[in-house]
Structures are given as C-alpha cells and as structure tokens.
Amino acid sequence: MQLTRIAQALLLTLVASHASAATMDSARARIAEQAQKLEPELLETRRDLHAHPELGNTEKRTSELVAKQLQAMGLEVKTGVARTGVVAILKGALPGPTVALRADMDALPVKEGSDLPFASKAKGTYLDKEVDVMHACGHDAHTAILLSAAKILTGMRDTLPGTVVFYFQPAEEGPSDFIPDGKNTWGAKMMVEEGVMKSPKPDAVFGLHVWAGVPARQIAYRPGPTLASSDDLRIKIHGKQTHAGRPWDGIDPITVGAQTIVGLQTVVSRRTDISSYPSVVSIGTINGGTRYNIIPESLDMAGTIRSYDYGIRQKLHSDVRQTIEKIAESGGAKADVTIIEKYDPTINNPALTEKMLPTLKWAAKDDVVQGPLVGGAEDFSFFAKEAPGLFVFLGVTPQDQDMSKAAPNHNPGFFVDESALVVGVRTLASLASDYLYGNAGVGK
C-alpha cells in the first residue's frame, strides 16, 4: 500500500513536471513571437526616451510616459514612488508566486557626442548648475525593454500563475538635487524604505543592464558577488596656517595629505585579505590653499571605497579611518573622516542564478558567458537584499567592432546596438514567466 502511494505521488510529480515544461515552452514561444512583433514600438520608445533624458529625482516626463503606457495595459499603477518612481502590478489568473522586474530611468550629466537623429540636446540642473544631459548608461534602453516585457506578460495574464511587479526606479545614478550625506536616500533604497517589496512581497527579483564592451545580444552573468559596494570617503585635515617660507611656525595639512594618500595605498595592499575578492580605495579630489607662499589652514580630500563582501567592507572602513587619523596625528594635525555608505555590493543569489541559467541561454540563443567582477556599483543591490536576486548584463556593442575600443558606459560616445534590445525583452519576460511556471504550486 505504501509503495503504491509513493508510486502515485511520483507519477503525479512527473506529470506535473511535464505539464509545467509544456506550459513554459508555450510561454517562451509566445514571448519570442511578441518580442519580435513589438520591436518597432520598443525602438520608438527607446529613442524618445534617449532624446529626452532626465537626471535623478527629476524624471517627471519619463515617469509620466511609463505610467501612461502601463495604465493602457490595464495594470494597477502607482506613481510618485520614491519621488518619481512608478510601480505596476500584474495579477495572473492562476495562483502562484510573485516575481519583480526592475528598470532604472535616470540619465547622467554628460554631453552627448553622437550624431544620431535622436541624440540628446537636453539640459538639466545638477547641484544647482545647468548641465547637458545624456542617457550615457543606457537607462533609456532598460525602461523601454521593461515596458515591452510588461506588455507581453500582460497579454499572457489568462494563463499566468502568480503575480509580476514592475519597478521603474528613479535616481540609480544618484540624486541631482542633493549631495548624499548618509541621511538622505534615493532610488532603489528609497523604494524599499517606502515598502514596495512588502505588498506584494516578491519571491525573486530580476534586472539587467546594457553594457559596452560586450558583443551585442550576448548575456553575461555571474553567481554571487557581481558589482562592488560604493562608499564615499571624505577627509578634512586641520593644520595651522603660516608663511610657506617658515613651515616650522605652522602645521602643513598638504604634506600630511600627501602622506595620507600614500598611506591609504597600504590599506588594501597590506591589511586587506584580497584572496577572495578585490577591494579599492581611491582619492579623487584634493582641495586646499589659496596662494603659492601660504601653507593653508586645512585641506579637503574625497574618494571612494569599494569591495564585494560585507565583512571586508566594514574592515576597510575601520582601517581607512585609523590610517588617516594616525598619519594626521603623527604630523601634528587632526583629521575628520566621514565614510558614507551609498551602495551595497550586488550579490546574485547562487541558487537562483543556477536555476535561471537555462532561461538566459534561451533568451540569448545560447550566447551566454560568465562575466568578471564589475568595479561599478548598482543600487539593484537593495532589492536583492530583500529577495533572492539575479542581475545580468546585456551586450550592446556591435559584434564587428573591437570590444576593447568601445566607448564605455558613462562616456559621451556610449552607443547601443539596438538589435540587442529585443534580447533584453525576451530575457526579462522569460525570467518572470519561467520562474512563475516553474514554481506554479508556490504562493497564493
């Protein structure tokens, strides 16, 4: 009797598995067909967004365009999230888990260098200064891709088991209207703080980023730590002003600053275990002094601290602070050290990554590679702390071009081979669909 029940259970499991696979294959076929059909609309949206970029926390036109399209799909739409963000909810007709898809919407204070017919001529205000604005990191592509994925998945509502939540996020590149101080938050962190991942709570969250130097239509992924944390380092060295011809009458903050820069190089090279993951401490600005023959009262420096591990990150902060303070003390000066944690490391859930790898291979027609660690930071990390996450890179450099010579993200010459965008649509739509159909017995 017991063996009979076990056999029946195994048979039911096998039947369910085959049914799920058949449904998943049917869904993929529909996604592929609709993604190709929607490509003209996808490109039109991307070009419109590219021609009208907006800086972080000012994405008013972009969010209005996004909300209008989502509302036309009949989705439940909430605007004004984290100031200018948009969240939409698609409830499938069948019970199942919840999955979230994310795209960022903001641009950068960069003057476009291309002669594209839809090149940006936009201006914006960055920290009270008028600047040129460009989608130099491809967030226009991300937004257009997710809108097309939302339209495809909405068309599958009648057979969809579970819920899909779409996050259109502002200010991934940071705010344009204030300097981060550790108290103000923006972008993904603010969306999380406002509760977007509580109701409904996703079982998994997915995102992608278009990337220069990777062949168009190729997908690069990495399990575990993928992008670095990013923390602001701010240093003020207090000395004692005096005549440069009589340095012994004062305390020279410039000399102490130079010693500090040299000393900081030993924090990673001699005090940090880099056998698992690398780390970086860099000084980017130095400001001090008013005249060639005056030793100034103080010196200001700023830089960045980056790592891929939470434990290493905290040790770096402690070692950096101690190094700066002790070097200043040895020169008779005093140092104020401020470390502002901005972006957490982006860590792809290993089990989720392995589970969804066949989906990535399907979406990119097997053109999938495991990529290297990326020294940049991404606030997708805040979503991935709340639910298992997977963040992948979509190549957008023309395949006949030398990848090493491609203008990188954040460069005025950054270029998107638009043939890759339909792969992005297949990727996000199928990640959501495959996850839902593959876990159809889970959730409400």
Does residue 310 have an active-site annotation?
Answer: no
Q: Rounded distance, CA 230 to CA 344, Å?
A: 7
Closest alpha carbon to 372 in 217, 211, 232, 230: 211
Q: How far is CA 270 from CA 265, 285, 316, 443, in A?
A: 8, 24, 11, 49
Give the angle 278-284-285 at the CA atoms, nearest 5°: 155
Helices (H), 52-138: 60-72
Q: Give the H/E segment covering residue 243.
A: strand 242-243
> Which of 126, 308, 343, 435 does the annotation list as catalytic?
343
Q: Which residues contact 306 (CB under 8 A, 6 or more apart)?
A: 228, 229, 230, 231, 279, 280, 281, 375, 377
Q: Rounded distance, CA 279 to CA 75, Å?
A: 43
Helices (H), 299-417: 310-330, 350-363, 380-386
> Which of 39, 194, 325, 418 does the annotation list as catalytic?
418
Phi, psi of 207 (to 5 degrees): -155, 165
Q: Which residues are catalytic?
A: 343, 418
